[in-house]
């Protein structure tokens, strides 16, 4: 039985959803990821010809993963389609054939982000739809995900938008038939070696035939409920964390034991994970259980080892989270609030200067910033701090988060130099900027937003 509603109002419903969310806005330049498959071809047709939809400045982007001998034909087909619809197109090709779904995904999103930056687009749009959401949730359930993983595919992540996420595949198929659209068929979608193909072809149809006729709808509903729960946690967790903190310095957080023990164990686990993330540590389920158990039973003077060189210890009515990885010789720099200023700091023996202002930084000084970046002022959480990289540090990009260690490797920064690379973090210990490499997604200024300018300059070794 068809999952989607048997209606021909797909363009109007999509237009209503885009208007409700206010993005993309009329006139925005957007990069549309088009593989040549049905979903992305329908998305491009809707954006290009849908009468009810806002007029956007479209740029098509296609990435050839070289996973099949005939993949080049897909690229040529997409380029011809875009030309016939009078839409500019950017085509990228993997330097070598990609062999896994994850490597293909990573390379594709790097390409899309590079296109967005090059053409000055505000958004990247992909054609993920509701069936993709159901498959993702079931895949994560099978792998034992937590509540956060049950959220599935987000409708928005930074500059990445998925406008079709609430529409079903059969709705897109009916739309394509109604307007006479053709598309490419990827034979790897039938390859049983790929987990998603087994879920799509066997598991979900089997569930709907033998267990629950509306299984895929239930999976999408589960994602929606999990997203609401996580949104609620994000709203209340910062206050719970701050209430428990007594002292906070670089590499060390002191927590009030009575406050922490006053939280139920499930809340305590969330608070502990949040505190440890500020020190660059990410706990798995077993690590979280052990840490929470120590807060309940650990005696004063005892400690509990954590990943990444961290220690959780009890000192009478206090818990101390401390890192042995932070160089005590480092002289770090804090930008306490909005304004203009400059300062000096030191990371692993490397001396640097920093400048910040609401106005553009001067460029004609003999000594001044060699690396500069701009940030959306309303989205900064002060104080900001320059420090060195820590184990587990991650930065949010338009396609998800990534470890700084991996980014520095991709940037070919020598291993011996990585400890002296400065990192800019905000008051919530989110990594905002790895100078010379990448700025975090979600901090770029939108038109009309106040801008905060930050620059750094190298002053040699200590």
Measuring CA to CA, which residue among 451, 452, 444, 406 is closest to residue 124?
444
Q: Is the pLDDT of residue 325 over 60?
A: no
* CB 184 within 8 Å of CB 71: no
* 424-441 average pLDDT score: 93
DSSP for residue 311? E
Predicted local distance difference test score (pLDDT) of residue 8 = 56
As given in the structure block, the two tokens for residue 414 are 């020598």
* CB 23 within 8 Å of CB 161: yes
Q: How confident is the model at residue 367 (pLDDT cuts 50, 70, 90)?
A: low
Which single residue is written with the structure tokens 């709907």? 208
* 315-324 average pLDDT score: 84
For 190, residues 6+ apart whose C-beta sits below 8 A from its C-beta are 197, 201
Measured CA to CA, the distance from residue 127 to residue 161 in angstroms comes to 9
Measured CA to CA, the distance from residue 135 to residue 56 in angstroms comes to 30
Measured CA to CA, the distance from residue 217 to residue 95 in angstroms comes to 39
How many angstroms separate the most distant Cα atoms in the chain? Answer: 74
Angle among Cα 129, 135, 138 to the nearest 5 degrees reads 140
Angle between the N-to-C axes of helices 71-84 and 38-49, in degrees from 0 to 180, rounded to the nearest 10? 10
Helix (H/G/I), strand (E/B), else coil: 70: coil
* 184-212 average pLDDT score: 84
* CB 415 within 8 Å of CB 389: no
Length of the chain: 462
Fold match between domain 10-225 and domain 250-323: no
Q: Is the pLDDT of residue 339 over 70?
A: yes
As given in the structure block, the two tokens for residue 196 are 């998603």
Task: Estimate to the nearest angstrom the gap between the alpha carbon of 215 and the chain centroid.
Answer: 28
Torsion of CA 208, 214, 217, 223, to 10 degrees: -70
Q: How confident is the model at residue 198 (pLDDT cuts 50, 70, 90)?
A: confident
The percent of residues in the chain predicted with pLDDT above 90, rounded, is 64
Q: Beta partners for 345?
A: 352
Measured CA to CA, the distance from residue 214 to residue 204 in angstroms comes to 10
Measured CA to CA, the distance from residue 176 to residue 131 in angstroms comes to 17
Q: How confident is the model at residue 328 (pLDDT cuts 50, 70, 90)?
A: very low
As given in the structure block, the two tokens for residue 312 are 């959780």
Predicted local distance difference test score (pLDDT) of residue 331 = 65
Q: What is the pLDDT of residues 370-391, one digit of tens each?
A: 899 999 999 999 999 999 998 8
Predicted local distance difference test score (pLDDT) of residue 327 = 42
Q: What is the pLDDT of residues 69-86, one digit of tens each?
A: 888 899 999 999 999 999
* CB 423 within 8 Å of CB 386: yes
Q: How confident is the model at residue 195 (pLDDT cuts 50, 70, 90)?
A: confident
As given in the structure block, the two tokens for residue 61 are 């982007």
Q: How confident is the model at residue 330 (pLDDT cuts 50, 70, 90)?
A: low
Predicted local distance difference test score (pLDDT) of residue 14 = 94
Q: Which of 170-184, 190-204, 287-301, 432-446 has the lowest mean pLDDT?
A: 190-204
Measured CA to CA, the distance from residue 320 to residue 232 in angstroms comes to 28
Q: What is the pLDDT of residues 409-420, one digit of tens each?
A: 888 887 767 888
* 442-453 average pLDDT score: 92
Predicted local distance difference test score (pLDDT) of residue 248 = 87
Q: Is the pLDDT of residue 97 over 70?
A: yes
Q: Is the pLDDT of residue 365 over 80?
A: no
**Helix ranges (DSSP H) in 6-159:** 10-21, 38-49, 71-84, 101-119, 130-142
* 125-145 average pLDDT score: 95
Sorted by where each begins, the domain ranges of the chain are 10-225, 250-323, 333-461
CATH class, 10-225 region = alpha beta
CATH class, 250-323 region = alpha beta
What is the chain's mean pLDDT, rounded?
A: 89
């Amino acid at each position: 039985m068809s999952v989607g509603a048997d209606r021909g109002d797909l363009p109007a419903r999509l237009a209503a959803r885009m208007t409700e969310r206010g993005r993309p806005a009329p006139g925005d330049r957007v990069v549309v990821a088009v593989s040549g498959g049905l979903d992305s071809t329908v998305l491009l047709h809707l954006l290009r010809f849908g009468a009810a939809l806002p007029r956007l400045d479209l740029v098509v982007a296609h990435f050839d993963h070289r996973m099949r001998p005939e993949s080049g034909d897909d690229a040529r087909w997409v380029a011809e389609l875009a030309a016939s619809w009078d839409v500019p197109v950017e085509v990228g090709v993997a330097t070598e054939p990609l062999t896994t779904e994850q490597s293909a995904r990573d390379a594709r999103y790097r390409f899309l982000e590079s296109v967005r930056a090059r053409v000055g687009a505000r958004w990247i749009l992909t054609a993920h739809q509701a069936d993709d959401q159901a498959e993702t949730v079931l895949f994560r359930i099978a792998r034992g995900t937590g509540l956060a993983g049950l959220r599935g595919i987000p409708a928005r992540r930074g500059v990445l938008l998925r406008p079709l996420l609430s529409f079903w595949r059969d709705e897109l198929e009916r739309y394509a038939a109604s307007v006479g659209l053709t598309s490419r068929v990827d034979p790897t979608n039938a390859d049983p070696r790929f987990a998603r193909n087994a879920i799509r072809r066997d598991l979900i149809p089997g569930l709907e035939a033998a267990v629950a006729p509306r299984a895929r709808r239930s999976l999408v509903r589960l994602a929606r409920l999990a997203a609401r729960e996580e949104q609620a946690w994000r709203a209340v967790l910062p206050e719970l964390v701050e209430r428990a903190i007594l002292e906070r310095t670089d590499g060390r957080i002191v927590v009030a034991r009575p406050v922490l023990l006053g939280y139920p164990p499930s809340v305590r686990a969330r608070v502990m994970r949040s505190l440890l993330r500020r020190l660059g540590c990410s706990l798995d389920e077993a690590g979280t259980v052990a840490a929470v158990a120590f807060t309940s039973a650990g005696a004063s003077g005892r400690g509990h080892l954590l990943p990444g060189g961290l220690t959780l210890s009890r000192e009478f009515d206090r818990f101390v989270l401390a890192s042995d990885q932070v160089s005590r010789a480092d002289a770090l720099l804090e930008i306490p609030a909005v304004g203009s200023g400059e300062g000096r700091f030191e990371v692993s023996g490397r001396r640097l200067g920093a400048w910040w202002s609401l106005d553009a930084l001067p460029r004609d000084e003999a000594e001044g910033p060699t690396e500069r970046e701009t940030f959306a002022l309303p989205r900064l959480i002060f104080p900001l701090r320059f420090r060195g990289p820590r184990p587990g540090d991650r930065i949010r990009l338009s396609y998800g988060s990534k470890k700084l260690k991996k980014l520095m490797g991709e940037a070919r920064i020598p291993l011996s130099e990585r400890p002296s690379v400065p990192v800019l973090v905000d008051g919530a210990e989110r990594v905002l900027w790895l100078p010379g490499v990448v700025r975090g997604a979600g901090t770029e200024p939108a038109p009309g937003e106040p801008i905060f300018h930050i620059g750094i300059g190298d002053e040699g070794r200590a």
